[in-house]
Amino acid sequence: MSRYKPKEAPVIPVVSASGSGADREEQMRKWEEDQRRAREAQATAAAPAPVAAAAPVLPAQADGVTADGSAGQAVEPAADAPDGDAPAVPARPPAVGYLPMPEFTQPDSDDPAERLEFYSRGILAVQYAARANHERAEQQKLIGLGLRLQAMKDEELHKTAGFETFGEMTDARFRIKKHQANNILRVMPVAQALEDITTQELKERPLRVLVPVLETHGRDAVRETWLEAARHGNVTDTALKQAANFLGYAPPKELPAAPVQKQEKPPAAAQVSESLRAVERIRELAEQDPARARREAEELESAVRELVEELSGNLG
């Protein structure tokens, strides 16, 4: 006889690694739905039969007067009344979109190889649930921050806190830079439109592509664009741009103005801006150290992007 008590093996989702990102997400959603139905069925089967509520008994005072002020005989509680007969508090329902962490169980086999395989599959299940829940948590974090930042901005609560601008308060109190807060507020409605069709982490940068889609065409267009982009794998800003263009939701591109046929003298050295000098310096560096030049070019691009967003922000 085995000395181990057989227990139920942990539930392990089987997700194909060869399919696209959209296929994997669809399998994940189906697995979550199956698990939810199984938990509901189990809870229904284990629910106790309803018990009629007993009439409340007013506690007796020392002088034989009941708590409502009327005279009467003190009533002793029934001898068979259970102690602590308080109404049961219903269990908190699981958060929508999150996977339950598989419980630890032991295999029903004494073979070391089979036990190793059993525990290994359990570790993979825990890692899978942790990754899925992390992505969902990051998604909800973006929405949760956006809702609260928007409320404080609308109510001008930075004045109550003694700050001249809203951006100063977010930086001082929450370590959220002005341009970061502005970007969160900009994409938060997009994240809200997508939260019930995907459990993936919704990163702020790709969602910017969908802001004009939401403003011009509405929530359904945002959702349709996301699903179209997800059909081809990972959802990136490039994939979203292509999907929006394919579906007819992308704004028309402005054609460049016709070049002026005019000979102009090259600008003098004093007239060249600092930004162009930085570009020329990186070009010269590329001839000697291409890898370093590429790194510096990427850093310059990121800094310029943040500066443009900050200058175009509306947080005051």
> Who has greater pLDDT, 313 or 23?
23
The pLDDT tens digits for 56-99 are 333 333 344 333 333 444 444 444 444 445 455 555 555 778 99
Please say if the pLDDT value at position 47 is more than 90. Answer: no
- Do residues 186 and 149 lie in contact, with contact meaning Cβ atoms separated by under 8 Å? no
- Sorting pLDDT into bands at 50, 70 and 90, what band is 157? very high
- Sorting pLDDT into bands at 50, 70 and 90, what band is 8? low
CA angle 113, 119, 111 (to 5 degrees): 25
Low-confidence winner among 188-202, 216-230, 267-281 (lowest mean pLDDT): 267-281
CA–CA separation, 136 vs 97, rounded Å?
7
Q: With pLDDT > 90 as the criterion, what percentage of the chain qualifies?
A: 44
Low-confidence winner among 117-121, 234-238, 264-268 (lowest mean pLDDT): 264-268
Residue in 209, 311, 188, 235 with CA at minimum distance from that of residue 25: 235
Length, in residues, of the chain: 316
Residue in 274, 7, 273 with CA at minimum distance from that of residue 122: 7
Whole-angstrom CA distances from 49 to 40, 54, 98, 185, 223 are 16, 15, 30, 49, 44
CA–CA separation, 197 vs 25, rounded Å?
10
Q: With pLDDT > 70 as the criterion, what percentage of the chain qualifies?
A: 66
Report pLDDT for 71: 40
Report pLDDT for 252: 65
What is the rounded average pLDDT for all residues in the chain?
76
- Do residues 39 and 94 lie in contact, with contact meaning Cβ atoms separated by under 8 Å? yes
Report pLDDT for 255: 57
- Sorting pLDDT into bands at 50, 70 and 90, what band is 193? very high
Q: Which two tokens stand for residue 108?
A: 């029903």
Reduced to 3 states (helix: H, G, I; strand: E, B; else coil), residue 239 is helix
| Backbone phi, psi, residue 307, to 5° | -65, -45
CA angle 197, 198, 203 (to 5 degrees): 130
pTM over the 0.95 mark: no
The pLDDT tens digits for 90-148 are 555 557 789 999 999 999 999 999 999 999 999 999 999 999 999 999 999 999 999 99
CB atoms within 10 A of CB 117: 13
Report pLDDT for 275: 74
The pLDDT tens digits for 166-183 are 999 999 999 999 999 999
Please say if the pLDDT value at position 209 is more than 80. Answer: yes
Residue in 145, 216, 211 with CA at minimum distance from that of residue 226: 211
CA–CA separation, 168 vs 181, rounded Å?
11
